[in-house]
Amino acid sequence: MTDTSTREAILLLGPTGSGKTPLGERIEERGLWGRRCVHFDFGANLRRVVTRDRPDEMISRGDVDFLKEVLRSGALLENEHFPIAERLLRSFLVERDPQARRVVVLNGLPRHVGQAEAIDSIVSVRAVICLDCSPETVLRRIAADVGGDRSGRPDDRPEFILGKLRIFSERTAPLVEHYRGRGARIERLEVAAGMTAADAWQLLQQRTCR
């Protein structure tokens, strides 16, 4: 298996509905700051595994059942379950970019400091893009499906959304300061209700590469 330990990464951070997945896809398509990129959407990979509902050499039956519960409840993968996330990420990198030529855009992983420390063995996060989005704006964006990526999401019920926002504030938002303390580039975007991935990408691209 290709060694991924020195891969450079950009981390997309933002609450559910802030537009991480459409932006990640846009960055993969167009690149960012002069670099070619590949987008790893952890949530989409989890949903794919659960929808397939078939164990393989990477994911056991117990893993599949556990991930179903994670998606149903909106819970985070804690440190003891990180090997599942690691297997998914390593498999993705080998399949999508075996020559390690592109920067990895991480979306949905890591989601707390424990995962951030564990992921150091796979990638090095050099920049964090934080999509700042108020709860009211999140609800408006999800209702309008601004990014076009919310169809068929059973976790978009209002009670789930509010729970996810609370978890993001308590567990995920502190990653900004975690990576700032490690010297990563921090870029923040204020997300409006109608902001598209193209809008967000353009704003980021206009910022001086450093």
pLDDT of residue 195: 96
Cis before 174? omega within 30: no
Rounded to whole angstroms, the Cα distance separating 118 from 91 reads 16
Q: Which residues contact 10 (CB under 8 A, 6 or more apart)?
A: 27, 32, 37, 103, 104, 105, 106, 125, 126, 127, 128, 129
Q: What is the pLDDT of residues 79-116, one digit of tens each?
A: 888 888 898 899 899 999 999 999 999 999 999 999 99
pLDDT lower than 50: segments of the chain:
1-4
> What CATH code would you report for 7-206?
3.40.50.300
Q: Is 127 helix (H, G, I), strand (E, B) or coil?
A: strand
Residue 80 in tokens: 């003891």
Q: To which H or E segment does residue 169 belong?
A: none
pLDDT for position 153:
61
Other C-beta atoms within 10 Å of 156: how many?
A: 17
Q: Tokens 């408006």: give the residue.
A: 140
Question: Residue 171, SS3?
Answer: helix
Give the DSSP letter string of 56-109: -SSS-HHHHHHHHHHHHHTPPP-GGGHHHHHHHHHHHHHHH-TT--SEEEEES-
Q: How far apart are CA 125 and CA 9, in angstroms?
A: 5
Q: How much is the pLDDT for 192?
A: 95
Q: Considering the entire predicted model, what is its pTM?
A: 0.87
Beta bridge partners of 106: 11, 40
